[in-house]
A and B are shown apart, each in its own frame.
Chain A
Amino acid sequence: MVAFADKMKESIEEYSQFIENYKVGVENLAAMEEVALATTEKEAVYSDGKRTLYRYKALKKGKICAVPLLIVYAMVNRYTMMDIQEDRSLIRNLLNQGMDLYIVDWGYADRSDRYITMEDLIEGFLNDAVDFICQKHKLEKINLLGVCQGGTFSAIYTALHVDKIQNFISMVTPIDFESDEGLLNIWSKELDVDAMVDYYGNVPGSIMNQGFLMLQPFMLSIQKYINLVDSMADQKQLENFLRMETWIFDSPNQPGEVLRKFLKDLFQENKLAKGEFQLGNRYVDLKQINMPVMVIYAEQDTLIPPSSAKALVDLIGSKDIEQLSYPVGHIGMYVSGKTQKTLAPSIANWINARV
């Protein structure tokens, strides 16, 4: 009985402290300004409508890699994840390794983008961006790093323009969508994509957010915030949390026709892995990819199962293939402490050995 009474006392004191932390945290939140993401300095060098190509300002003094690296992020979220805060920034880490970095910003689609196609994005903007960089640097080829859905776009582009890519890196990129490991793969099979796109036009970012939250509804909707309370009194930790929170819910609307093709041809029919995918009137044959390729995947990725990302290895014609993995989740690839020190040097060293 005495032990139980002690326990009750502890319980009430713990909860009391919890509420106190919460109250302080609420006051901190009220006093905070908007958090800033992606603060690494960059310059817009080319644009087409809402899509912009940025070049990052060099951070490293001294030798910079002669062949620039273009990063193509996904459209379903913002590229700002790669530069979320100063001490968790793959962008900064790559710049510190002497990479000459460019990045594609797909922008925020609105109703006027209702009918843009994947061909417009890949053969249009992405190709123009590559040409721009080549002309600026008087090169015939550049290095390309594709991330997640951006990696799928990049793989398609590379297969169609092998003469323009010197080295290709795919990072947590879905290639084989047949897997039943990921919930998105399972759910997408039963989705009537046409009904969804025909109604919404551009599929709202809020729908995408709901879909992602549904992958871990309790953890992401409730427990995450309970866990937050203990650190709410710490201004810095709260800011870090808010940056992530800002990024998570900063989902652009998805251009209807791009999403229609992506879901139907890739998620549902797995055409790319089967060699049946067409962009415009051209078939995309991944076997055409013959330059050095690095495949990076996250071992605990529930969004893009490792098998989906690793499938690229067997589908390309390259002889020089390197695989790199980390024991992290999808987002952890950019923000986890496990990757901060080694991911960027691995990429940079690999590229430098091949330019």
Chain B
Amino acid sequence: MENIFGKGSTWLENWKEVQENLSKQYEAWGESFQGKQGTPENTESAFQDWIKAQNDLSKQFLEIGQSIQENFTQSQKKVQEDTSNFMGFEVYQKIFQSWLEALGKLPNAGDFSKFQTLFEQNTNIFENLFKENLLGLWGKHQNLAEEFQKFFNMQAVWAPNLGEPYQKLVAEFTKVLNQFQLSPKGWGNAAMKEFFEEYEQKFSKYLAAQKLGINRERDAKVAQTIAAFIEHCKVHVDYMQILNETSTEANTKVSKKLSECVAEGKAITSFKELAALWTGENEATFQKMMRTPLYAKIQGEHLTTYCQYKKLSNELLEEALQETPFATKCDLDLAFKEIHTLKTELRHAKKERQRFANEVTQLQDELQSLKLGIKELLHAKEEQSLPAGTTKSKRTTRTPKTKK
């Protein structure tokens, strides 16, 4: 990879030198023009030199801008070759690149009065980058594109059951939906929400209607699944919308801060400072939004509608698998539930057994104590009944002789 940064550093040294020379030249030209009438030949040649120098400078600015762009692209590619994007901060590289290009495009780098307009022109770069990369963190839209495919496949199977008019409606909606860009920006589009609401309105009667025929249960389940999918899509639009709006708000704050820094003569030129600014503003703006009841509601509904749709979708799949020799998740769950119940009963039984064992041991101990107590009592009584001075007789047990 060409070390453009080394080249860039040298270029800046040259640029400094050229600017200093030009300034001196301009000063000298001004003095000679001020005090004297000036000679047309000298003035004209100095002016032409100056224009040429400025043209050279503009050309150098353009070249360095292109070089910066190439270098970023090359470094990104190199990084990607090495790491396959595992770090995920290439968004910052793009922002930084755009930022340096914006600064580099200034006709006169010291002329900050023109900066605001130029910066505003470049904010589109930031907007697109921020949105696309930001919402990539919440990558559901990609999975949703796959789900859409499944959804249309499902519809294709089911639609013939309800006849031609319905099929025409499906075709019409499919055409409209295909026009939407299934990107985060597309998903947050208000028109997308209207599409789903209209879809729901037109199709709800078909979805909710009683089904006929031998497959009526399956058809009812398919209809339920489609309705659940549409519900999730509607909530997804709301979700993307709130994220889009917050992203725009945060981006505006970043742009404003950058402008303010430039206006104060403290333009941010450090990559790390720019990254920290972008992170800080986005984090603060999103944190504020995420604390709102509205966001909590939308997020909760997003997860709920997703789970409801996927559960129904899985049930359809499991039903289809009933014809096959494969055990499904539900089959396994039933088995595990039974095992858990048995294990719980076994544990209780063990505890009960242990309790009984303890009780038995206790009773045995008590019985033994009683026996000893009785023995001692009898022995004591016996001793009491003997006359004083009489020695205790040995108790013997006589075994009766058995008759032959």
Contact = CB atoms under 8 A, between A and B. Distances in A.
A190 B276 contact: no
A217 B286 CA distance: 9
A191 B303 contact: yes
A214 B290 CA distance: 9
B12 A9 contact: yes
Contact of B19 (A1, A115, A192, A217): A1
A199 B329 CA distance: 11
Contacts of B282: 218
Report whether over half of chain B's contact residues are helix, strand or loop; otherwise say mixed.
helix
A111 B347 contact: no
Given A115-B336, A191-B303, A226 B272 contact: yes
A15 B307 contact: no
Interface in B305-323: 307-308, 310-311, 314
A18 B79 CA distance: 12
A112 B341 CA distance: 12
A218 to B, nearest CB: 4
B291 A196 contact: no
A1 B17 CA distance: 11
A23 B3 CA distance: 14
A331 B82 CA distance: 32
A41 interface: no
B97 to A, nearest CB: 10
A8 B269 contact: yes
Contacts of A189: 296, 300
A132 interface: no
Contact of B308 (A8, A26, A199, A222): A199
Contact of B300 (A9, A16, A190, A223): A190
B307 to A, nearest CB: 4
Interface stretch (B31-39, B87-95, B158-166, B172-180): B87-95
A201 B329 contact: yes
* Interface size band for A: 35 or more
Contacts of A115: 336-337, 340-341
A13 interface: yes
Contacts of B337: 114-115
A4 B96 contact: no
Interface in A181-211: 183, 186-187, 189-192, 195-196, 198-201
Given A7-B267, A195-B308, A216-B283, A26 B88 contact: no
A118 to B, nearest CB: 13
Interface in B52-92: 75, 78-79, 82-83, 87-89, 91-92
A196 B303 contact: yes
A312 to B, nearest CB: 25
Contact of B269 (A7, A19, A216): A7
A187 B270 contact: no
A169 to B, nearest CB: 28
Contacts of A111: 329, 332-333, 336
A1 B20 CA distance: 9
B156 interface: no
Contacts, number: 148
Interface string B11-33: 01101100110000000000000
B271 A18 contact: yes
A14 B270 CA distance: 7
Scoring B75, B303, B337 by chain A CB atoms within 10 A of each residue's CB, the highest score goes to B303
B5 interface: yes
A222 B311 contact: no
Contact of B344 (A19, A112, A120, A198): A120
Contact of A116 (B297, B300, B340): B340
Given A190-B299, A190-B300, A225 B291 contact: no
B75 A19 contact: yes
A353 interface: no
Contacts of B303: 191-192, 195-196
A82 B75 CA distance: 39
A112 B5 contact: no
Scoring B20, B91, B279 by chain A CB atoms within 10 A of each residue's CB, the highest score goes to B279
A18 B87 CA distance: 14
Given A4-B110, A8-B12, A195-B311, 11 more contacts: A1-B108, A14-B270, A23-B79, A114-B337, A120-B344, A186-B291, A192-B304, A217-B286, A222-B91, A223-B275, A225-B87
Nearest 9 A/B pairs, CB to CB = A190-B300, A11-B269, A16-B5, A199-B307, A192-B304, A115-B340, A223-B279, A1-B110, A199-B311
Interface of A: 1-2, 4-5, 7-16, 18-19, 22-23, 26, 111-112, 114-116, 120, 124, 183, 186-187, 189-192, 195-196, 198-201, 214, 216-219, 221-223, 225-226
Interface of B: 3, 5-6, 8-9, 12-13, 15-16, 19-20, 75, 78-79, 82-83, 87-89, 91-92, 96, 100, 103, 108-110, 137, 267, 269-272, 275-276, 279, 282-283, 286-287, 290-291, 293, 296-297, 299-301, 303-304, 307-308, 310-311, 314, 329, 332-333, 336-337, 339-341, 344, 347
